[in-house]
Amino acid sequence: MNCRHCNNHLTHIFCDLQTCPPSNAMVNSEALNHTEIYFPLKVFVCEKCWLVQVDEIERAENIFNDDYTYFSSFSTSWLAHAKRYVIEMIERFKYNQKSLIVEIASNDGYLLQYFHEKNIPVLGVEPTTNTALVAKKKGIECIEDFFSEKLVREKLVGKADLILGNNVLAHVPDINDFIKGVKLALKPEGVNTFEFPHLCKLVEFKQFDTVYHEHFSYLSFTSLKSVFEKQGLEFFDVQELTTHGGSLRIFTKHIEDKSKQISPSVESLLKREKDLGVKTLEYYQGFQEKVNIIKNEFLSFLLTAKNEGKKVVGYGAAAKGNTLLNYCGIKGNDLIDYVVDASPYKQNRLLPGSRIPVYHPDKLKETKPDYIIILPWNLKEEISLQLSQMRNFGSKFVVAIPGLEIF
C-alpha cells in the first residue's frame, strides 16, 4: 500500500484488527443464509507525512450506499452540538441571506436545518439517498453525490462562503482530490471547517474501535497541515472538542486570503503534537498490545457474567461497537443476548459479523438485564442518563474503552 497523500510506500503497522465486514453493513433477516464478506482491517502509519490510514479494501461507493443506516439526528447531544456550531459561525463570520453554506456529508440535515431556520441559503452534498431524502423533507437542497474536484468543477466553483464537514474527512479515500475540491468551491474570503476525531486522543485513550472500513484515515493536526497546504489552503484556527472521545475543529482559508489572522492555537497545537512524538515512529508503537489488553478484559467480563447466570445486552448498534465485537471474536448471542438502538433503520436487523439481533429500546424494560454495555462509549453520559430508570431493575452499565468500567 502507498500513502494516500504523499504516495510513500507503507511498511509500518499501527494496529492489525484482523478481518471483519464493513461496520455499518447491518444484516437483514432475509439475508441470514447469505455469506458476509470479511475484509482486512490493518492500519499503517506513513513515516514521511505521518498520515495514519487503512487501505481502501472496500470501495466507498459500496459502503455509503442507498441502505446506509447511520442517521445523525438520533443523538440529542449531537443535535445540540450542531446547533451551537451554527450559532457560533453566524456570530463570528456574519453569515446572512446572501451567503451560501455547503455541508459535505450532510446526512439527514441534522445541522443545515439550523442555518435554514435563519433563512441562510444552504446546500448539502450527500451520497446516501435515504439520508438525503430526509434532509430534503426538511427543505434542504441536496446534491446526491460524493464530494470531489470533478463535482465542484461542474457545480460549485467559487460559490461557498462556508464549507463544513463533520466526521467526513476520515471517510475520504482520495484526500488530495477532496481538499482540492474544497479549495475550488470556496469564495476568495471563504471559510472551511472540518471536525474529526483527533488521532492523539485515539492513541491516549486506546480508542481502537474507531478503526473501521469507513474510516480511511486517522488524523493528527500535523499530518493535515501538509495535506491542506499542498492544495493552497492553510489553518487559521483550531478548537479542541470533547465530541467522539476528543475531536478537533479546524478552520482553513485560502493562503492568498490575508483578511484573517492566524490564531496562536495553530502553532500551539502543532508544537504539542511534536512534543508528544507524532513525527516519530516510536509514538505509534505498542498500540497493538494495549488493544489486546482491552480485548482480553472485555472477554473475561462477558465470560464471568455468563458463568454467573447474568443477562448481558448492548446499547447502540454503532460502527465502533461492531469493530469491538468482531475483534473480540463474538459470534451469535450466547455472550450478549441482544442490542437495542433508537434508530428504526437499525432495529429488527442483525449486527454485521457477530449477528447479534437489534431491537427497540423498550426491550430493556421487558427483559431487565443485569448489564447494559454502552457500545458508543462517547455517548455514555447521554445514554446512561436516558436509561437511568433501568437502575431501578438492578441494571448496571458497562463500557470497554479505554478500559473496562462498570458503573
> What pLDDT, in 10s, does the model give residues 73-124?
888 999 999 999 999 999 999 999 999 999 999 999 999 999 999 999 999 9
The three-point CA angle 27-31-34 to 5° equals 105
- Three-class SS string for 34-91? CCCCCEEEEEEECCCCCCEEECCCCCHHHHCCCCCCCCHHHCHHHHHHHHHHHHHHHH
Task: Note the pLDDT tens digit of each residue in 46-79.
Answer: 999 999 999 877 665 665 656 666 788 888 999 9
Question: What's the confidence (pLDDT) of residue 384?
Answer: 97
pLDDT of 221 reads: 98
pLDDT confidence bin for 152, thresholds 50/70/90: very high
Exposure b/e, 196-211, CB count within 10 A at least 16 = b = bbbbbbbbebbbbbbb
pLDDT at 397 over 90: yes
Average pLDDT of span 175-181: 98
pLDDT tens digits for range 188-225: 999 999 999 999 999 999 999 999 998 999 999 999 99
Omega before residue 402 within 30° of 0, cis: yes
Note the pLDDT of residue 74. Answer: 85
Q: Which domains does the chain have, with CATH numbers?
A: 146-284 (3.40.50.150), 287-406 (3.40.50.720)
Average pLDDT, rounded, for the chain: 95
Cβ atoms of 336 and 356 closer than 8 Å: yes
pLDDT in tens, 161-173: 999 999 999 999 9
Strands (E), 66-181: 101-104, 122-125, 142-143, 160-166
Smallest Cα–Cα separation from 110: which of 85, 87, 78? 78
Q: By the 8 A CB rule, do 1 and 44 touch?
A: yes
Residue 129 to residue 384: CA distance in whole angstroms: 32
Task: Supply the DSSP symbol for 391.
Answer: G
List all residues 6 or more positions away from 86 whose beta carbon is below 8 Å from its beta carbon.
Answer: 111, 114, 115, 118
The residue whose grid cell reads 492544495 is: 231
Element (H, E) at 177: helix 175-185
Neighbouring CB atoms inside 10 A of 236's CB total: 19
Average pLDDT over residues 328-339: 97
The predicted-structure confidence for 247-268, as pLDDT tens digits, reads as follows 999 999 999 999 999 999 999 9
Q: Is residue 137 pLDDT above 60, yes or no?
A: yes
